[in-house]
Structure 1
Amino acid sequence: MAQLFFRYGAMNAGKSIEVLKVAHNYEEQGKHVLLLTSGLDNRNGVGKIASRIGLERDARALQREEDLLEIVRKQTDPISCILIDEAQFLTESQVCQAAHVVDDFNIPVMAFGLKNDSMNKLFTGSQALLIYADKIEEMKTICWFCEKKATMNLRITNGQPDYGGEQLHIGGNESYYPVCRKHYWHPKIEGES
C-alpha cells in the first residue's frame, strides 16, 4: 500500500543525497521515478537536485501554481515512486494533491525538506506534510558549533545572526548553519569573543 512520507531535517542533514539515493535504487531495478524539486530553489540552477557532497541530477522544477495530479496524469511511463526535494516550498494544495496521488493512484510519494525556517516558523509545505503524511521521519545532523543534534537553521547575513527578514531566502552554507537550540540564540560567530 502506497504512503505519503515526509522526511525532514535541518540544513546539511543529507536530504538531497537521500533523494538521489532513493531514485538510484528504484532506477537500478528498472523502475520509473518522477523526480521533482521546487522551482524556487535556484542555488544550482532551476530543476537541479544537488547535494553538498557534489552529486547532482536534473529534476522537474515544480512551480507553486502547478497541480501535481495533472503532472501525474500526463506521465507516459508508469510511475513507481514520486520523490520531492525542497518540499517545504510546496503549497498546502500541492501536499493535498500528493496525498491524492497516494490514495487514488497507489503511488508512493516521498517528500524531503526543512521543517522550520530561520525564524523557527513552519514552512507552509512542511506544516501540511506534518498534517497529511502517513509517515514522518527526522533526518539528523549535528550543530555547526557543538556535538548536539541540530534542530534549527540559523540565517547568517553579513557574518551575523539574522533572526528576521523574509521567510524565503534561498541559500546554502554561506547563508545558513544547522544549529542546536542553544547555539541558535548564542552562536559562536568568528571574530566574536
Structure 2
Amino acid sequence: MAQLYYKYGTMNSGKSFEIIKVAYNYEEQGKPVLLYTPAADSRNGTNQIGSRAGFTRDAIPVYEETNLYQSVKDYLAEQKYYCVLVDEAQFLKKKHILELTRVVDELGVPVMAFGLKNDFQNHLFEGSYNLLIYADKIEEIKTICWYCDRKATMVIRFKDGVPVNQGEQFQIGGNEDYKPVCRKCYNKAFSPKE
C-alpha cells in the first residue's frame, strides 16, 4: 500500500545524501524512480540534487505552476515507476503537497519527501507545514549541533559571520550561511551578552 513519507532534518543532516541513496537502492533492484527538486533551489542547477558529500543526481525541476500529479501520471504512461522522491520539499507549495497525496492515493505510487521542517526563525515552511499535516509517516533525520554534542533541531542563519534572525524566509545557502544547532545554542546566539 503506497504512502506519503516526510523525512525531515536540519541543515547538514544528510537529507540529499539519503534521497540519492534511496534512489540507488531502488534502481539497483531494477526498480526505476522519479526524482523531483524545486527549481528555486539552483545551487546544483535547476535539475540536480546534490549532497555535501559530493554525490549528485538528475531530477525533474518543480516550478510553482508544475502539477506534480499530472507529471507523475504522464511518466507512468511511459513506464512503471516504483517510487517518487522529492528533495527540498519545504519549498513546495500546498498545492504540490496535495498533488503528491493524489499520486499516493490515486496512482498507488509511494512518495518520499525530504526537507527542512523549520526555518532560521523557527517558523514552518509552507511545504513542511503541509507535509506534517498530510504525510502518512513522518521521520526525523538527526544530526548534531554545530557547537555542542546535543541533537540539532534548529538552524542559525549567518550574515558576514554574524548570527541573524531577521530577513526573508527563502534564502538559498550552504555551510557559510547556515549552521544546525540545538535549542540551547540557538537561544545563546540571540541572548543579550552580559
TM-score range, shorter chain: over 0.9
Q: Tell me the SS of whatever aligns to 2:61.
A: strand
Q: Is 1:3–1:109's contact at 8 Å kept on the other side of the alignment?
A: yes
CA shift for structure 1 position 187? 3.5
Aligned positions, number:
189
Separation in 1, partners of 2:188, 2:43? 28
Specify the alignment match of 1:33 in structure 2.
33
CA shift for structure 1 position 47? 1.3
Q: Is 2:73–2:107's contact at 8 Å kept on the other side of the alignment?
A: no
Instruction: Kindly provide the amino acid, as one letter, of the partner of residue 48 in structure 1.
Output: Q
The question of 1:93 aligning with 2:68 is answered no
CA shift for structure 1 position 55? 0.7
Separation in 2, partners of 1:171, 1:57? 19
Specify the alignment match of 1:169 in structure 2.
171
User: Pairwise mapping of residues 111-150 of structure 1 onto structure 2 (< 5 A)?
Assistant: 111-150=113-152
Specify the alignment match of 2:16 in structure 1.
16
Provide runs of 4+ in structure 1 moved above 3 Å. Answer: none
Q: Is 2:87–2:115's contact at 8 Å kept on the other side of the alignment?
A: yes
After superposition, the C-alpha distances for 1:27-66 in whole angstroms (9 at most, x for unaligned) are 1111110001111101122111111111111111111221
CA shift for structure 1 position 95? 0.4
Separation in 2, partners of 1:72, 1:60? 10
Separation in 2, partners of 1:3, 1:26? 16
The question of 1:63 aligning with 2:79 is answered no
Gaps of 5+ in 1: none
Structure 1 length normalisation: TM-score?
A: 0.95
Separation in 1, partners of 2:174, 2:65? 25
Q: Percent of pairs identical after alignment?
A: 55
CA shift for structure 1 position 74? 1.3
